[in-house]
Structure formats: C-alpha cells, structure tokens
Amino acid sequence: MKRTLLALGAFIGFGLAHDWELTAPTGLSFGKIKGYENWHVVATHYRTDKNELRYIIGNDKAVEAYKKGAKKFPEGAILVKIGYSLKKNPDFPKSVEPDVIQRVEYMIKDSKTFKDTAGWGFARFVYDAKKGEYKVFGKSAKDYAQCFACHRSVERKDFVFTDYVRRK
Ligand code: HEC
C-alpha cells in the first residue's frame, strides 16, 4: 500500500512538473506546443549582452513556409524560442554549451483570435530552476503588448525575426 501511494505521489509530481496546463493571459497554453522538443531547428541565436543561447524551432507549417520562401506564415504556424544559460563543456572548456533552460516562449498564427496583433498570438513560460517548474509570464494580456510592439520592427518578414539558417 505504502509503495502504491509513493508511486502515485511520484506520478502526480511528474504530471505537475510538465505544466502543460499553464496558460498565458493571451489564452495560449503550454500544452498547445506539446511535442515541440521534436520540432525542427530553424536557427540559433546568441545574445551577447545576456550571455544566453537561444534555439528557434518551428512546427511543420512554419518550416514549410520558410522553405518555400513564403512572404507570410500560414494559419497554425508556430515558432518556439528556448533560452539557455551557458556552461563550459567539461571535456573541452574552450567550447560552451547550453546549461539551464531560462524560458520557453512561442508565437502562433491564428488570425481569427489575434486580429489586433496581425494574427500572431504570444505566450511565455519562465523556468524556475530552483523549484524545477515553469511559471506563466505576465498577469494580464497587457504584459504581452511588448511582444508585438518589438516584433513589429520586422513587419516586412511577417513579424518574425529569425531567418531559416543555411545548412548546405
Ligand atoms: C525588445 C524586443 C523583443 C521583445 C519585447 C520580444 N521579442 Fe521575441 N524576439 C526578439 C528578437 C530579436 C528575436 C530573434 C531571436 C533572438 O535574437 O533571440 C525574437 C524571437 C522570438 C521568437 C522566435 C521567432 C522570431 O521572431 O524570430 C519568438 C517565438 C518570440 N520572440 C516570442 C516572444 C514573446 C512571447 C514575447 C513577449 C512575451 C517577445 N518575443 C518579446 C525580440 C523581442
């Protein structure tokens, strides 16, 4: 019995750690990008002032649009950005590698829902390494106005900063 309870506790704990239910004030949940860890790498970025490495990944719809050189991303296209702190590679310290996840954020093209922001909806989940869990960024949709405000500067690229990186 004791063992069953322990197993149940571990199971519930595991479920909470995944946090797919977390939902940003924009109405977008973490669960909406479930499986993103297996999507395609679009590019990496390194933020010099924050010493942070970022991976930009996309779902099939987003990547197909990139490959076609489409001017706009289609409905349902999703781009995810994951930020990491860095550490030296223990086996080769001149090389640095991703260490702790800082946050996972995404933008999704859903023109019906996000009319005021050119069809793009935004969500950010901040990782608390001490607690080992994610937290929703922002208290209200107002906290997300900055996302579109900054992404606006790349309106000519359908509000997406990242270009698909060459690999051959
Ligand atoms: C001050 C400017 C700025 C703000 C504010 C901002 N971003 Fe970005 N975002 C960028 C830049 C620059 C990139 C390109 C990648 C990089 O350099 O990290 C980017 C990339 C992204 C990407 C990958 C697709 C792309 O456009 O390259 C997503 C997803 C994203 N941001 C989501 C968000 C969300 C969600 C918010 C608000 C909570 C937000 N951003 C706020 C500047 C900004």
Q: Ligand 1: residues whose CB is within 6 Å?
A: 45, 47, 54, 56, 79-81, 105-107, 122-124, 137, 144, 146-147, 150-151, 160-162
Residue-wise pLDDT for 87-128, tens only, equals: 999 999 999 999 999 999 999 999 999 999 999 999 999 999
Residue-wise pLDDT for 117-131, tens only, equals: 999 999 999 999 999
Residue-wise pLDDT for 36-55, tens only, equals: 999 999 999 999 999 999 99
| Residue owning the nearest CA to atom 20 of ligand 1 | 161
CATH architecture of 21-157: 3-Layer(bba) Sandwich (3.50)
- Interval between CA 102 and ligand 1 midpoint (Å): 14
List all residues 6 or more positions away from 26 whose beta carbon is below 8 Å from its beta carbon.
114, 121, 122, 123, 141, 144
pLDDT band at 9 (very low <50, low <70, confident <90, very high): very low
The pLDDT assigned to 138 comes to 98
Distance CA 58, CA 100 (A): 21
